[in-house]
Amino acid sequence: MKRTLIITFTAALLASAALYLAKPGVKAANPTETTAPRKNSSEFVVAAGRVEPASEEIKIGSELDGKLAQVPVAEGDHVKQGQVLAVLINGDYQARVALAEASIRERQADLERLTNGNRGQEKRESDATVREAEAVLANAQAELDRRRSLLDRGAIARFEFDSAEREFRVARARLDAAKERSGLVHEGFRAEDRKRVEAEIQRAQAQLREAQAMLAKTYIRSPIDGVVLRKKLRAGESVSGKGDTPVVTLGDLSHLRIRADVDESDVARLSIGQTAHVTAAAYGDRKFTGKVIQIGQILGRKNIRTDEPTERVDTKILETLIELDPGQQIPAGLRVDTFIHTAR
């Protein structure tokens, strides 16, 4: 009984399907038919592609290890070449610059003193020191003569005369030293002293330039006029000088191009200057036009995968660049279908 019901139900379904297909305009589905464009069209070379800035996507990182103090840009911001994109915590680098500047000022003061020579007040002071030493020596000479006379008469012991003689020698040595210092003060500084100070200034200036260069590296700047595509890190996060973690990525969206994966079987049909257009599901039937500006020189693996279940992943491709005509706007990174016109 159950088997009879099953057979009857199946027969009814088949009859309904036959009546539906017999209606005008209804066609049976072809399991091999696909909406994908024909790859072997005589008019086009068809390839999967992706939109990218003409500058490509530029990853901006730090040359130094450190922690971000601020990242004053947001995704989508238009930036100018040289604009600050991020700042590292840099108090220690600022201190090095200040120390180098102070060292230069100190060395320059030494050079000015050498150039101007000693002041008149210093010269007068040295002269007074000489006169004082001469007076002390005269007193010591008089005392020595007096004690020699007393020693000759036996009025004093020998050690008293020896003490006066020592004082005389000390006074004479002090006078000689005072005269030497006075001579230096009046003569001025030697040429080698000036050269030494000038060399110290040059060394301090080099240290300042080095400190300023290191401080400048804590300010991460844009190398181009472009748009912030991605903001990878934020204030408080650490960065590495190895550049393995970009802070932001930039692109010049004023000029767009398509990087297309052309199948190896179609590479002979490519040439620079061919016109092309691309379409994207998000834009319906709208076409974005351009031309081929670069053809790769070596085959490689696919960069772009489609959603077709029958797609071969081991196919070799040749990267081809298509520059879009000016004035066309389409998001960077969007996957598109590329049609390169080969018809003559």
For residue 187, what pLDDT band results from cuts at 50, 70 and 90?
low
Least confident range from 14-18, 39-43, 113-117, 235-239: namely 14-18
Give residue-wise pLDDT tens across range 82-101.
Answer: 999 999 999 999 999 999 99
Nearest to 54 by CA among 195, 213, 268, 224: 224
Residues 94/87, Cβ–Cβ less than 8 Å: no
pLDDT over 70 percentage in the chain: 79
pLDDT of the residue at 38 = 46
Dist. CA 155–CA 150, nearest whole Å:
5
Residues 342/269, Cβ–Cβ less than 8 Å: yes
More confident call, 321 vs 30: 321
Residues 318/270, Cβ–Cβ less than 8 Å: yes
What is the arithmetic mean of pLDDT over 105-111? 88
Mean pLDDT of the chain: 82
pLDDT of the residue at 121 = 65
- Token readout for 195 is 């050269």
pLDDT of the residue at 205 = 94
Q: Which of 28-42, 52-66, 116-130, 299-313 has the highest mean pLDDT?
A: 52-66
Dist. CA 52–CA 278, nearest whole Å:
13
Helices 191-216 and 91-116 sit at what angle, rounded to 10 degrees?
Answer: 160
Least confident range from 19-23, 39-43, 84-88, 277-281: namely 19-23
pLDDT of the residue at 193 = 75
The residues, ordered by sequence, that sit 6+ positions from 294 with a Cβ below 8 Å of its Cβ are 272, 320, 321
**How deeply is 155 buried, as exposed, middle or buried, from its count of CB atoms within 10 A (0-12, 13-18, 19+)?**
exposed
More confident call, 3 vs 103: 103
The CA radius of gyration of the chain, in Å to the nearest whole number, is 46
Determine the CATH number of domain 37-54+255-341.
2.40.30.170
Indicate if the pLDDT at residue 290 is higher than 70. yes
pLDDT of the residue at 125 = 79
Neighbour count for residue 272 (Cβ, 10 Å): 11
More confident call, 94 vs 8: 94
Give residue-wise pLDDT tens across range 29-54.
Answer: 443 333 344 455 678 899 999 999 98
Least confident range from 99-103, 108-112, 165-169, 336-340: namely 108-112
- Token readout for 147 is 């004690």
What's the pTM value of the predicted model, to 2 decimals? 0.59
What is the arithmetic mean of pLDDT over 303-309? 64
Which CATH architecture best describes the domain 58-89+218-251?
Answer: Beta Barrel (2.40)
Neighbour count for residue 154 (Cβ, 10 Å): 7
Q: In what order do the strands lie in the sheet with 84-88?
A: 219-221, 84-88, 66-70, 238-239
Neighbour count for residue 196 (Cβ, 10 Å): 14
Q: How many CA atoms lie within 13 A of 23 on its CB side?
A: 6
For residue 233, what pLDDT band results from cuts at 50, 70 and 90?
very high
- Token readout for 177 is 């030293």
